[in-house]
Amino acid sequence: MITGIDLVEWQIRVAGGETLPMTQEQVAARRNGHGIEIRINAENPAGGKFLPSPGKITKLVPSDGFGVRFDSGYESGDEISQYYDNLVGKLIVWGKDRPTAIARTIRALEEMVVEGVATTIPADLAILRHPDFAAMKHSTKWVEEVLDLSGIEAPKTPAGDGDDAEPLVRRNTTVEVNGKRFDVAMWVPEQTAVVASVGAAKGAKPKRAAGGGAGGGAGSGQVAVPMQGTIVKVLVEVGQDVEAGQAVVVLEAMKMENQILAEKSGKVSEVKVKAGDTVGSGDVVVVIA
């Protein structure tokens, strides 16, 4: 973005036996302006938890304009799998200087539309708007140690046109029709949806949680998973006493392991899954009496 050089072309030419057309000093002399690249991932940054958010992209409208490029392998209607990297796309922005590039990147993120899955865009905007980023005082540990994402909420979809309409949230489930199973998505009232919670790891910073977890409705005893994934470990058994906040299963989604936590204390009355089972968002995995 700052040299006008097509690196892919160079790679192809070198692979074909040609020599590099420029020296490093010549490349440096071509530098112009400032470039910013942002990986937009299918993760829910609400409360700083960054939980994986696989599912179908119901709508994807990239931003564009002068100095803005979006590299993506997805379109509206495509599915973000639980088994692979959750990268939706890369937003690359150029500006004549760093302040211009930051302002242009913020505009591009605000204009981008990604529906159906949660993305890291709210967290990206929080980073770009922070004075530390403008002053280049950030580091590889800056997000965990400094950035406050507690004000970011999970995306919601309105229930209707009325002002008093109850907000809905997306839940995935499996239904059976004429002996065949189908994965479907439905929008349900917010209070009946899964409540995600994270148990802070020992010594972890409260700004950004280190692990993920979930429970059913507060105090219900129905421990449900907040995203699609694979059960890699069951940590409890029927008859076992558990405490609120204790991990009951480990769920793997998008190469990340998430501890699913009990939301109340009690005795395990049912374990509905075993290691290797695939579960969907909202599925109950453990019942606590």
The b-or-e profile of 101-113 (16+ CB within 10 A means b, else e) is bbebbbebbeebe
If asked whether residues 185 and 277 sit together in one domain, one would say no
| 162 and 68 both lie in a single domain | no
Q: Answer whether residue 68 shows pLDDT above 70.
A: yes
Q: What's the confidence (pLDDT) of residue 179?
A: 66
* pLDDT tens digits, one per residue of 76-102: 999 998 888 889 999 999 999 999 999
Within a domain: 8:
no
Residues 198 and 246 both lie in one domain: yes
**Average of per-residue pLDDT across 135-151:** 89
Mean pLDDT, residues 276-289 taken together: 90
Residue 20: what pLDDT? 92
266 and 283, same domain (yes or no): yes
Mean pLDDT of 201-210: 38
Higher per-residue pLDDT: 125 or 176? 125
Q: What is the DSSP string of the chain?
A: --S---HHHHHHHHHTTPPPSS-HHHHHHT--SEEEEEEEESEE-GGG--EE--EE-SEEE---STTEEEEES--TT-EE-SSS--EEEEEEEEESSHHHHHHHHHHHHHH-EEESS--SHHHHHHHHTSHHHHTT---TTHHHHT---TT-----B-S-SSTTPPPEEEEEEEEEETTEEEEEEEEEEGGGSPEE--PPPTT--SSS-SS--EESSTTS-EEE-SS-EEEEEE---TT-EE-TT-EEEEEEETTEEEEEE-SS-EEEEEE---TT-EE-TT-EEEEE-
Q: Do 241 and 186 share a domain, yes or no?
A: no
- 243, pLDDT greater than 80: yes
Residues 84 and 161 in one domain: no
pLDDT, residue 65, reads 92
Q: Specify burial of residue 84 (Cβ count, 10 A radius: 0-12, 13-18, 19+).
A: exposed
Percent of the chain with pLDDT over 90: 55
Q: Are 258 and 281 in contact (CB under 8 A)?
A: no
How high is the pLDDT of residue 197? 38
- Mean pLDDT over 210-215 rounds to 45
Terminal-residue alpha carbon distance, the chain: 58
12, pLDDT greater than 50: yes
Residue 18 covered by a domain: no
Domain extent for 174: 157-193
Q: Is residue 24 part of a domain?
A: no
Report whether pLDDT(188) > 70: no
Per-residue pLDDT, averaged over 263-282, amounts to 91
**Total structural domains within the chain:** 3
**pLDDT the model gives residue 255:** 75
**CA nearest 215: which of 184, 255, 249?**
249
Q: HSE, CB side, 13 Å, CA atoms: give it for residue 42.
A: 31
3-15 mean pLDDT: 94
Average pLDDT taken over every residue of the chain: 82
* pTM flag (> 0.85): no
Q: In terms of domains, do 140 and 226 share one?
A: no
Buried b (16+ CB within 10 A) or exposed e, 16-27: eeeeeeeeeeee
Structure confidence at residue 126 (pLDDT): 94
CATH number of the domain residue 109 falls in: 3.30.470.20
Residues 185 and 254 in one domain: no
| Upper half-sphere CA count for residue 195 (Cβ side, 13 Å) | 14
Q: With respect to residue 2, please indicate whether it lies within any of the assigned structural domains.
A: no
